[in-house]
Structure formats: structure tokens, C-alpha cells
Chain A
Amino acid sequence: DAGVTQSPTHLIKTRGQQVTLRCSPKSGHDTVSWYQQALGQGPQFIFQYYEEEERQRGNFPDRFSGHQFPNYSSELNVNALLLGDSALYLCASSYGAGRDEQFFGPGTRLTVL
């Protein structure tokens, strides 16, 4: 049984560019949450998707947007990249929004130059 998978594993972009990160949830899970983890810090909640809609959002600007597909996979899009967007982006999946444990993927390391 595959766990949460994310792609790509690493990504290098320059300031002002746009990036799309992808996540496939654990089998049987229908809810996807995205987190940003800066070096040496705990993960920070970006937003959560359930039934293809953004259900809850953390304190992140509109440059951060997402999407959930009918197969429950999800994308995180970041526009107009800033140097401060460099971080590990983590996807977590769960079953039934707000009702179960969240399982994390390995993350995508984004470097903005």
C-alpha cells in the first residue's frame, strides 16, 4: 500500500517564476493538506482540500493556490516566487476532513534563487 507521494523531490526556480507541486494521497484517503517547512522550523499549515474545495486556509497570501482532482490528488501552485518561499513543501493526507490522523509525504524541496 503506497503512502503519500509527492513530486518532484527537488526544484530550483528563480524569483518571479511560478511553480506547481503535486501530491497523491495515501490509498483510501480523500483529504489533502499542504504545509510549508522552513529550515529548522516546524511545518506551517497552508490549506486543506476536501471534495475538490479549499476547506481551510492558514496565514498565506493569495500567491499560494491549490487544486484537488476527482481522484483526490492535489496540486499546490505558487506564483511570483520570492526568496522566502524556499522551503520543504509537505503534503499530508487523511480520511474525512477533520476526522482523522494526517500522514505526511516526503516533501518537495523548493529553492528560489
Chain B
Amino acid sequence: GENVEQHPSTLSVQEGDSAVIKCTYSDSASNYFPWYKQELGKGPQLIIDIRSNVGEKKDQRIAVTLNKTAKHFSLHITETQPEDSAVYFCAASNSGGGADGLTFGKGTHLIIQP
């Protein structure tokens, strides 16, 4: 089955700087890659996703890149703010172009230093 590795496990950046979180996946058939943000005591919140027919997607301060050949994808957050502090999860799935049973990474605890 699919295996998703996520790095780093903890990332501390100064407010206003950029943060990058990286994930690799093992199943070349995976075609959907969402990113979730989870705050303490809450369920994961979908922040951005990318499908295998696209190499990059951007939404305001958040962007995701996908390299299918290398089987890795990354989350980029620019101009970080205190409210960006949370645990971020990457995930992957193989379905008919949408979201099926997702395989998650172990998460990255992002800390924004004021």
C-alpha cells in the first residue's frame, strides 16, 4: 500500500518568513495530494490540494508543488503569521481523480516565533 513520509516533524520560523514542508510518497498510482491544518482540539482542515495533472497550485500565501517523477510534493507558506501555528499533514490517495481513502504523513508542528 501507499506510504507517505513527511519532514520535518517540527519547524520553527520567524513571523514573516517562509515555511516549507516536504512529503514523499511510494505509490506511483497516487493522483490526489491534499494538505490539512490541524489546530489543538479540532479536526483537520483542508487548506489546499493538488492533482497529478498539475505541477503547482497557489492560493494567496499558500502554494503546493508536485514532482511526479521524484514522487514528492511540498507545501510553501509565505509571510507567515502567528495564526499559521498548527500541525500540518500531507496526504495521498489513488482514486478516479478524487479523494478516496487518504494515507497521511505523520505531521509537521509549525511554530511561528513572534
Residues of A within 8 A of B (CB): 4, 33, 35, 40-45, 47-48, 56-59, 90, 94, 96-107
Contact = CB atoms under 8 A, between A and B. Distances in A.
Contact of B44 (A48, A90, A99): A90
A78 to B, nearest CB: 18
B82 interface: no
B43 interface: yes
B101 A56 contact: yes
Interface in B62-114: 89, 91, 95-107
Interface residues of B, number: 27
A108 to B, nearest CB: 10
Greatest chain A CB density within 10 A among B42, B44, B95, B106 is at B44
A56 B98 CA distance: 14
Contact of B107 (A42, A98, A102): A42
Given A59-B1, A98-B96, A104 B43 contact: yes
Contacts, number: 72
A43 to B, nearest CB: 5
Given A48-B101, A102-B99, A90 B107 contact: no
Nearest to A56: B101
A102 B95 CA distance: 13
Given A41-B106, A42-B89, A101 B34 contact: yes
